[in-house]
Amino acid sequence: MGVGVDVVDVARLARLRDGRRDVLGHVCRPEELDGAVDEERAASLWSGKEAVAKSMGTGLWQAGVDWKDIAIDRNARVTLWGEAARLSGTTRVEVAFARRGELMVAVAVRREAAE
């Protein structure tokens, strides 16, 4: 039903976090930030949310989808809230990550939920 891909420069995001420590607080739900959030987890959250929004065909901010409408747990399970959940309907989204050097790649696939 939809595929989204996003790539984040891990070091660049780390520098952004150093300059503005609460940047993840603006894009993540509290449960996503439980425990230590190292640079790899931060890059996974950022790229994963972007990829999920793209898989829905909206991207972030379009059609009212907000960063916090997409939650990704430490096992890469996606939960949708708010406008993202409404737009998604009965579909489900899966996301996978790969780190290549300083790049974190997220691929999200949206498909019909199993009956």
CATH number of the domain to which 73 belongs: 3.90.470.20
> What percent of the chain is predicted at pLDDT more than 90?
66
Question: Which position has the token pair 């780190």?
Answer: 99
In this prediction the pTM is 0.89
Number of separate domains in the chain: 1
Query: How many Å apart are CA 10 and CA 105, to the nearest integer?
Result: 10
Question: Which position has the token pair 């489900």?
Answer: 92
pLDDT tens digits, 24-61:
888 999 999 988 889 999 999 999 999 999 999 887 77
Q: Which range of residues forms the domain containing residue 65?
A: 2-112
